[in-house]
Amino acid sequence: MKAARWFGNKDVRVVDMETPEIKNDEVLIDVQGCGICGSDLHGFQTGALMSVDEEHPVSHRKAPLTMGHEYSGIINSVGKDVTNVKPGDRVVVEPLLYCGTCNPCKEGYYNTCDSVGFQGLNGDGAFADQTKFKANMIHKIPSTMSFEDGALVEPITVAYHSLRKGKFEKGMSAIVSGAGTIGLSTIKCLKAMGAGEIYVIQRKSVRQEYAKAEGATVIDPNECDAVAEISKLTGGKMADVAFETTGSQQCYDLLVRSIKNQGTVVITSIWEHNIEVNLNDLVVTEKNVVGTICYNGNDFEEVIKLIGDGVLDTTGLITKKIALEDIVEQGFGTLTGPDKKKHVKVLVIPETSSIKDEIGK
């Protein structure tokens, strides 16, 4: 089979390799489509988050690795102990690697496992014709859901989980900083869950238009005093909750200042550098700052239902579809090049996929 393997920084090669052999508790999946994630870009460029020199404690794997974890597929075969899915089932995968024995895992928070990892970063993933994973992390999708929408379940679930962490309730006003994949997914989740006004902090680019298309009010921090503008738009009440998806000091500061006293800022972004935090901004206002990572529990099933029932509209998230063999130039090259902000999600489609005729559309 063909697979896109990471050998080192900026060194991804599409190679031939053997079909993975499954264990008793695993399934083999024919990949239909797999999105390129921001963490894939970090891994491609710097090796960040990836198992480079040492084996990951859960997967016991290190580079070279097949990348990719945002995918949909069809079950090809199952291990002898697998009962929750069968060959032919249409599925998506919750791609977390966790130990199951540390305290967070025992308490049900496997997304914060002491040894947490990801398929495609710390073990072989789904930029390939086929991949394998543990059956207990497989979720069936309805026949009415496209494989393209299936490949979006994982990033949308990241956003959905962040609403849970922010204790979002119907009718709340919200701010989202950034209108990339996770930012737009957060906006879509807020809409699906009944948000009131949604404000988006986004500098001038086509991403402003993406956010406006979702019905959000876009505020460019380079064009105005964003905090004053939110105060004006909310009649001085400020927003109930905010979601930081950019990893920017400027956006963090704006969000803390733009929520009401006792409001909450949810940090979804992964940070490359430390930032300065004035704790008095939180102490004297009783504002909350909480982190969120991935998903757990029933998050995947709830997002599958929201998309399957048409409550959450995925329109506009996939902006390019490419063949697996073109992943380096048209995938990573596009998302790290001068036109990167024109794109939200690039979907990689293997030659063996049933949707390969969608390439280029």
| Per-residue pLDDT tens digits for 180-238 | 999 999 999 999 999 999 999 999 999 999 999 999 999 999 999 999 999 999 999 99
Q: Residue 280 is which amino acid? A: N
Which residues make Cβ contacts (< 8 Å) with residue 271, sequence separation at least 6? 247
CB 147 within 8 A of CB 33: yes
CB 290 within 8 A of CB 165: yes
Query: Is 287 in the same domain as 300?
Result: no
Indicate whether 44 belongs to any domain: yes
Domain boundary among 244, 262, 291: 291
Query: Is 9 in the same domain as 98?
Result: yes
Q: State the Cα torsion 320-325-329-331 to the nearest 10°.
A: 30
Query: Is 171 in the same domain as 137?
Result: no
Q: What pLDDT is attached to residue 298? A: 97
How far apart are alpha carbons 153 and 69 in whole angstroms?
11
Indicate whether 161 belongs to any domain: no
Query: Is 13 in the same domain as 140?
Result: yes
Rounded mean pLDDT for each run of 10 residues along the chain, 361 residues in total: 96 97 98 96 90 94 97 98 98 98 98 98 98 98 98 98 98 98 98 98 96 98 98 98 97 98 97 94 98 97 98 97 98 95 96 92 69
Q: What pLDDT is attached to residue 296? A: 97
Query: Is 201 in the same domain as 286?
Result: yes
Q: What pLDDT is attached to residue 277? A: 96
Q: Residue 128 is which amino acid? A: A
Instruction: Detail the DSSP E strand segments found in the chain.
Output: 2-8, 11-16, 26-35, 65-66, 70-78, 90-93, 96-97, 117-118, 130-134, 138-140, 174-177, 198-201, 217-219, 239-244, 259-267, 288-291, 318-323, 345-349
Q: What pLDDT is attached to residue 96? A: 98
How far apart are alpha carbons 231 and 253 in whole angstroms?
15
The CA distances from residue 120 to 48, 102, 193, 244, in Å, are 12, 23, 30, 25
How far apart are alpha carbons 267 and 249 in whole angstroms?
12
Indicate whether 71 belongs to any domain: yes
What CATH code is carried by the domain that includes residue 143? 3.90.180.10
What CATH code is carried by the domain that includes residue 258? 3.40.50.720
Domain boundary among 272, 291, 310: 291
| Token pair recorded at residue 260 | 């009401």
If one counts every other C-beta atom within 10 angstroms of the C-beta of residue 95, the result is 24
SS3 179: coil
Query: Counting Cβ atoms within 10 Å, is residue 81 exposed (0-12), middle (13-18) or buried (19+)?
Result: exposed
Indicate whether 266 belongs to any domain: yes
CB 65 within 8 A of CB 9: no
Indicate whether 132 belongs to any domain: yes
Strand 288-291 relative to strand 2-8: parallel, antiparallel, unpaired? unpaired
How far apart are alpha carbons 72 and 89 in whole angstroms?
11
Query: Is 63 in the same domain as 116?
Result: yes
Q: What is the pTM of this model?
A: 0.97
The CA distances from residue 123 to 98, 227, 250, 254, 264, in Å, are 12, 43, 35, 37, 35
- Residues 38-80 pLDDT 10s: 999 989 998 888 988 899 999 999 999 999 999 999 999 999 9
Number of domains in the chain: 2
Q: Would you call the peptide bond into 64 cis, given omega within 30 degrees of 0 as the criterion?
A: yes
Which helix (H) or strand (E) segment holds residue 210: the answer is: helix 206-213
Query: Is 62 in the same domain as 88?
Result: yes
Indicate whether 160 belongs to any domain: no
Domain residues for the domain of 189 are 167-291
Q: What pLDDT is attached to residue 358? A: 87
Query: Is 235 in the same domain as 134?
Result: no
How far apart are alpha carbons 290 and 268 in whole angstroms?
9
